Each structure stands twice: as structure tokens, then as C-alpha cells.
């Protein structure tokens, strides 16, 4: 499974809230070491593991989200967490993006390669049809009505303005991005 990238072997499953995360090996680009590494999730026992999925490198909204997450990374590590960004790109694409994007140069957490999409499938995060966003929490973790409202407004804006995309933490009235037009000098 994972085409040699994730190292999940023949494990086939979909994780749900409350499931124990399986031990596996993940191939990643480690910006701190500037190299291709194999991470063992067993080495992170006792830490909170945050898997942040995004569709692809060299896109428009993703670098705004990853840059924001990179700015908050010290706060996450203070809380005993490790962040793993994940896309279906290869380690080599992650490295190239890190080298060429001012926003992504700020990322210091592992960038996991999932070219087969099997890790994304295990988490159930592939977007099909017209689904725009999914948020699933354990029963003990309250959701933010304000964040849900923000996401609804962003989804409506994108639906109504098909040539625009909303960067991280976008609120109505904030600047948006136009794919292809805003790419120059920002990746």
C-alpha cells in the first residue's frame, strides 16, 4: 500500500474518531534536515500527531494555509504535538516546492508523500462530488460555530466567484487569490 511511499504494507482501513493510529512508516521531506526521510509513527508515541492534508503542491490556497501553520508551529510543539503535512505529491516535489516558495520555506515540519493516495483514503479526506469541507471531532471536542460560519462564507464566495480562491483564515472583505494571476512571485 502507498506505492512504497507510506510504508503501510497491506494495511487497508479507514480511520474513524476514537481509533488508535496504527504504527507505520511514512516517507517525507524533512525541511530541518533538507532530506528525504522515513518516519516511523511509533517514534512519536506520547505526542499528539496532526495530519494536515492538502490537495497538491504548487497550488494557490495551500501555501497560505501551510504558511499560517508554520507560523504557529512553535505553539503546537509547546503543546507536545508534531505536524505532518500530507499531499499526494512525491518527496521530490515537496523539496522543490520548499526551495521555490517563500511561503513554504517557512515550513519546518515533515511534508509526507502520499502519491498513491492511500494515506488520504485511510483518513477519508479525498474530496468527491461537491463536498467542500469536512470537520469531524471526537464527542469531547467542541466545534467552533465561528469557524463553521467562516468556512460557509468562504464556500459561498468561491461558488459565486469561480475564478477566486480564499487563503488561510479568509473573512469576507479580505483579499482573495486568482489562480494563475497571483502565482507570480508568491510560490
2-139 fold: Glutaredoxin (3.40.30)
pTM over 0.75: yes
Q: Which residues of the chain have pLDDT under 50?
A: 1-5, 7-8, 184-187
Q: Which residues have a Cβ under 8 Å from the Cβ of 173 and sit 6 or more positions away?
A: none
Q: Which of 23, 53, 49, 59 is nearest to 113 (CA)?
A: 53
Please identify every residue annotated as catalytic.
Answer: 62
pLDDT digits (tens, 9 = 90+) for 81-130: 999 999 999 999 999 999 999 999 999 999 999 999 989 988 888 766 55
In the chain, where are the structural domains located? 2-139
Amino acid at each position: 500500500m502507498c506505492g512504497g511511499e507510506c510504508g503501510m504494507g497491506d494495511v487497508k482501513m479507514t480511520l474513524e474518531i476514537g481509533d488508535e493510529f496504527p504504527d507505520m512508516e511514512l516517507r517525507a521531506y524533512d525541511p530541518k534536515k533538507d532530506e528525504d526521510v522515513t518516519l516511523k509513527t511509533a517514534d512519536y508515541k506520547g505526542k499528539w500527531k496532526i495530519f494536515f492534508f492538502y490537495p497538491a503542491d504548487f497550488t494557490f490556497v495551500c501555501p497560505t494555509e501551510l504558511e499560517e501553520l508554520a507560523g504557529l508551529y512553535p505553539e503546537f510543539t509547546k503543546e507536545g504535538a508534531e505536524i505532518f503535512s500530507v499531499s499526494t505529491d512525491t518527496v521530490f516535489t515537496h523539496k522543490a516546492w520548499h526551495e521555490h516558495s517563500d511561503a513554504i520555506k517557512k515550513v519546518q515540519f515533515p511534508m509526507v508523500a502520499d502519491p498513491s493516495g492511500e494515506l488520504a483514503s485511510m483518513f477519508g479526506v479525498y474530496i468527491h462530488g461537491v463536498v467542500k469541507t469536512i470537520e469531524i471531532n471526537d464527542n469531547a471536542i467542541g466545534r467552533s460555530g465561528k469557524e463553521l460560519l467562516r468556512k460557509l462564507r468562504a464556500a459561498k464566495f468561491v461558488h459565486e466567484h469561480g475564478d477566486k480562491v480564499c487563503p488561510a483564515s479568509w473573512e469576507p472583505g479580505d483579499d482573495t487569490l486568482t489562480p494563475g494571476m497571483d502565482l507570480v512571485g508568491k510560490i
